[in-house]
Amino acid sequence: MNKMRKIQGGVCAAEGFVAGATGCGIKTGTVTRDDLAIIFSQGATTATATFTTNKVKAAPVRISAEHLRTGRIRAVVLNSGNANACTGPSGMADARAMAAATARSLGLKTSQILVCSTGRIGVPMPMPAILKGIPAVKLTRSGSQKAAKAIMTSDTFAKEFSLEVTTHDGKFRIGGIAKGAGMIDPNMATMLCVVTTDAIIPAGPLRKVLRDSVEDSFNRITIDGDMSTNDTVILLANGASGISPSPAIFRSALDEVTRALARMIVKDGEGVSRFVEVEVRRAASKADARRAAEAIANSTLVKCAWAGGDPNWGRILDAVGYSGARIQESSADIFYDALPVAVNGVVSKTPVRKLRQIAARKSFRVTVDLKLGKASHVVWTTDLTEEYVRLNLGE
Amino acid sequence: MNKMRKIQGGVCAAEGFVAGATGCGIKTGTVTRDDLAIIFSQGATTATATFTTNKVKAAPVRISAEHLRTGRIRAVVLNSGNANACTGPSGMADARAMAAATARSLGLKTSQILVCSTGRIGVPMPMPAILKGIPAVKLTRSGSQKAAKAIMTSDTFAKEFSLEVTTHDGKFRIGGIAKGAGMIDPNMATMLCVVTTDAIIPAGPLRKVLRDSVEDSFNRITIDGDMSTNDTVILLANGASGISPSPAIFRSALDEVTRALARMIVKDGEGVSRFVEVEVRRAASKADARRAAEAIANSTLVKCAWAGGDPNWGRILDAVGYSGARIQESSADIFYDALPVAVNGVVSKTPVRKLRQIAARKSFRVTVDLKLGKASHVVWTTDLTEEYVRLNLGE
């Protein structure tokens, strides 16, 4: 049998990957923390990525998409503090210059570099500082955490996760880093994520497996319903392990990594006090299940109730009602964890005290059973707190 | 020429309408305020209404829709404190009993009464108190304000507006009351509104004119993106003036009333500190203009920025980007009042200080010019404050 074991190393857990970071003072002009990271594969890779579906795409997203089509990717350069979004033609030139400087520093071609930026929108990149910083990054086998920290914005902890997978042919490794925090919505979050593996995966299957895995992880999380201009998930496979896992084995390992990082992003959402798994089940269709789950997860009123530890089910049913999903009010049940709060569309006999205990926890599950069909959908979300508003009053 | 003059009287401004209210202690069991109102036409009316499009509809919405189809409407009974929503078959019986008691008290048939409820969801109606209250309501020509106050929930002021319209044939009057405050979204708000007129309007035109007017008023407002189970706008015309205005004249008078009441609802949104008119213009299609305007108005991040007096345009462009509307980033302009904050997708030369002054005002306008077509759409919305979250932590 195949075994998966959690290991240290993050984006450098896989053989042949090194990472590092440095401080450029990108946001404030003063160097107070690392804000520029590089991840480098010592050998050739197959590479793929999924990007934001926002029609307003940041310059680094456009440049990375271009390089993915034409180049043999070897490295990713990432920065926090400035998203290089809504920056026009000069923003495009800046993203290209970041790639070119990284290529020079590593002895590669510009088209072999992917670029990710996160931070403020609409502000020009401080290019002199960035171009000075790039050659100063020291790449090491233990550089993952430094890189994970450098890409944090309002994140409160660095996000890394890695696995060693034992197959009957031998072992391969997979791991990644991510950042999240604000502007988090399915399709995708304001988030950056780089996953590396030393498994051998051809380009075609790599593309498909990443798309599917993102669908079941990062596209299921929502904090505030806002979708960013910069969202990027990159997957690099350098084959250094010599192992060619079956598509199913690789998929399950990748899912472990993407889902772990996605959950970390939700738990670290701005001002979050609850992590809520919302499941809509027995919906009439897959699309209905998704619509209903996302309407609940994005409802301002539902999220405010959770912040107050209030197991308010009327607001949940109300959200399902306007989601566009088919619903028969008289057959809908709603649960907090295992306890029914509403049965067949009316209040249950569960003591409110017990429901309040659940809704006041740091983590709980809300299940809506529509009893109309067989489709289900799960999203991971949070409450909406006064702290969230305070953090987003402006920059 | 026709002249419109603002007059006192609200829902009793039109000849032949009386109103009143009483206290039943619906929310708490103790009578501390009026919470039950009746509006009555002394003569026959033509009547129409628009209801929430939420698939979860409160019992009074279902009963009122039924009575509208079959009855010759003469009165409306309204209560605050309990929405009679998600209350199952017993909720339907309760709404019917409210109509029956009102009919008995006024010497009418049950099918001649419309019912509106607003307040908590999922809690049974305290029927003994309500049935005792209904015959205690004293109906007078000056009862509009008392009725407007009785239907308030978290509203901070009573909402009334009325007009006298002079046509070449003579004068007619039109006026209404409304309540709003939370769960406000287009299609429609958590809001109740009753408009009365003494103009002569046949049933067919009445239906059409209300639908159109609601589309351009209540369906353009959004506070929190949540659509309630109880939204109702009722229009009663009793013809007591003897005047048959042209459709155009009546439409413009009705629009004045519905738009005035809609703006009051937005200004009185829970925890609101800014009233923002969002216009998207030169969109590729009407649907695009609407999508983009609503995405801006419902963006948690945009609304938080406004609460902080931050003229953040990156978040606005981001919201347009994910709205589904066509956008060419390099041709989009964004304005705060008359001042450009972004021109052709990049930051303008307007001093940030001046933009901040506008974004810190109690009322301002945000315009997004997409330069792709001829369609435009306006919505009225608010910021999202810590106070809003505090008010919605639970009941």
In chain B, where are the structural domains located? 3-267, 275-391
What's the CA gap between A326 and A341, in Å, rounded?
Answer: 20
Q: How far is A327 from chain B (nearest CA, A)?
A: 7
Contact in structure between A54 and A229 (CB atoms under 8 Å): yes
Across the interface, which of A312, A325, A384 has its CB nearest the CB of B394? A312
Size of interface A-B (CB pairs under 8 A): 206
Q: How far is B281 from chain A (nearest CA, A)?
A: 18
CA distance A163 to B392: 42
Residues B322, A227: C-beta atoms closer than 8 Å: yes
Could you tell me which chain A residue has the CA closest to the CA of B395? Answer: A310
Spell out a b/e string for A80-117, using b for 16 or more CB atoms within 10 Å of the CB, else e.
bbbbbbbbbeebbebbbbbbbbbbebbebbbbbbbbbb
A56–B317 C-beta distance less than 8 A: yes
Of A87, A304, A394, the CB nearest to B389: A304
Query: Quick check: B304 and A388 CB within 8 A?
Result: yes
**Span B198-207, pLDDT tens digits:** 999 999 999 9
At residue B224 the predicted structure's pLDDT band, cuts being 50, 70 and 90, is low
When pLDDT is averaged across residues A351-369 and rounded to a whole number, the result is 96
Contact between B395 and A310 using a beta-carbon 8 Å cutoff: yes
* Cβ B273 vs Cβ B357: under 8 Å: no
Mean pLDDT of A62-68: 96
pLDDT tens-digit series, residues B230-247? 889 999 999 999 999 999
Contact B317 A390 (CB under 8 A): no
Which positions in chain B touch A329 (Cβ < 8 Å)? 55-57, 86
- Prior bond of A191 cis (ω within 30°): no
State both tokens at A155: 């994140």
What pLDDT shows up at residue B213?
A: 96
B6 against A224, higher pLDDT: B6
Tokens read off for B308: 């902080």
What residue ranges in A57-102 does DSSP mark as E strands? 75-82
Nearest-by-Cβ selection for B304 from A185, A327, A389:
A389
- On the question of pLDDT at B394 being above 70, the answer is no
The pLDDT, as a whole number, for residue A189 is: 42
Residue B189 has pLDDT above 70, yes or no: no
Question: What percentage of chain B has pLDDT greater than the value 90?
Answer: 78
Mutate to test the interface with A, among B86, B188, B320 (most CBs of A within 10 A): B86
Q: Confidence band (pLDDT; 50, 70, 90) for A394?
A: low
pLDDT value at residue B268 = 84
Statement: residue B1 has pLDDT above 60: no
Residue A220 pLDDT greater than 90, yes or no: no
ipTM: 0.76
Cβ pair A300:B392 closer than 8 A: yes
- Smallest CA–CA separation between A182 and chain B, in Å? 9
Which of B53, B346, B385 has the CB atom closest to A88's CB atom? B346
C-alpha span between B231 and B54 (Å, rounded): 9
Q: Give the active site residues of A.
A: 190
Q: How far is A304 from chain B (nearest CA, A)?
A: 5
Q: State the pLDDT confidence band at A56, using cuts at 50, 70 and 90.
A: confident
The tokens for A121 are: 């929108």
- Mean of the pLDDT values across residues A20-30? 95
Q: Which of A51, A53, A54, A56 to mutate to test the interface with B (most CBs of B within 10 A)?
A: A56
Mean pLDDT of all residues belonging to chain B: 92
Which whole number is the average pLDDT over A166-174? 96
pLDDT value at position A90?
95
Selected catalytic residue, list B22, B45, B48, B190: B190
State the smallest CA–CA distance between residue B259 and chain A in angstroms.
24
Q: What is the mean pLDDT of residues A127-138?
A: 98
Closest-CA distance of chain A to residue B383, Å: 10
Select from B226, B301, B389 the Cβ nearest to the Cβ of A385: B389
Tell me which chain A residue has its CA closest to the CA of residue B331: A88
Q: Which pLDDT score is estimated for B190?
A: 67
Q: Which residues contact A110 (CB under 8 A, 6 or more apart)?
A: A67, A71, A96, A99, A100, A103
Residue B258 CA to residue B264 CA, distance in Å, equals 10
Looking at beta carbons, which residues of chain B come within 8 Å of A346?
86-88, 122
Q: For residue B340, what are the β-bridge partners?
A: B335
pLDDT at residue number A64: 97
From A52, which residue of chain B is nearest by alpha-carbon distance?
A: B322
Q: For residue A224, what pLDDT is reported?
A: 60
Strands annotated E in chain A: 3-6, 17-22, 36-41, 46-51, 75-82, 113-120, 159-167, 170-179, 192-197, 221-222, 232-237, 275-283, 333-336, 339-343, 346-347, 363-369, 375-382
Per-residue pLDDT band for A231 (boundaries 50, 70, 90) equals confident
Nearest to B386 among A225, A329, A389 (CB): A389
In a mutagenesis test of the A interface, which of B300, B327, B348, B357 is the best target, namely the one with the most A β-carbons within 10 Å? B300
Q: Indicate the CATH number of A3-267 among 1.20.1050.10, 3.40.50.720, 3.30.360.10, 3.60.70.12.
A: 3.60.70.12
Report CB contact under 8 Å: A305, B394.
yes
Query: Tens digit of pLDDT for each residue in B153-183?
Result: 888 899 999 999 999 999 999 999 999 866 5
Q: Which region among A262-276, B108-122, B248-262 has the lowest average model confidence (pLDDT)?
A: A262-276
Separation in Å, CA of B350 to nearest CA in chain A: 14
- Residue B106 banded pLDDT, cuts 50, 70, 90: very high
pLDDT of A187 above 50: no
Given this model, what pLDDT does residue B223 score?
62
Residues of chain A neighbouring B320 (CB-CB closer than 8 A): 55-56
pLDDT at B301: 86
Contacts of A121 in chain B (CB under 8 A): 312, 314-315, 317-318
Rounded to two decimals, the pTM is 0.82
Q: Which of A94, A226, A350 to mutate against chain B (most B CBs within 10 Å)?
A: A226
In terms of average pLDDT, the best of A220-234, A235-249, B177-191, B262-276 is: A235-249
For chain A, what's the residue count? 395
- What's the confidence (pLDDT) of residue A301? 86
Contact across the interface for B121 and A318, Cβ inside 8 Å: yes
Look up residue B163 and give its two tokens.
């007009």
Pairing between β-strand A333-336 and β-strand B36-41 as defined by DSSP bridges: unpaired
Q: For residue A89, what pLDDT band results from cuts at 50, 70 and 90? A: very high
User: Class assignment of domain B275-391?
Assistant: alpha beta
Q: Stretch A319-331: mean pLDDT, rounded? A: 92
Chain A residues whose CB is inside 8 A of the B85 CB are: 314, 318
pLDDT digit string, tens, across residues B39-70: 999 999 999 999 988 888 899 999 999 999 98
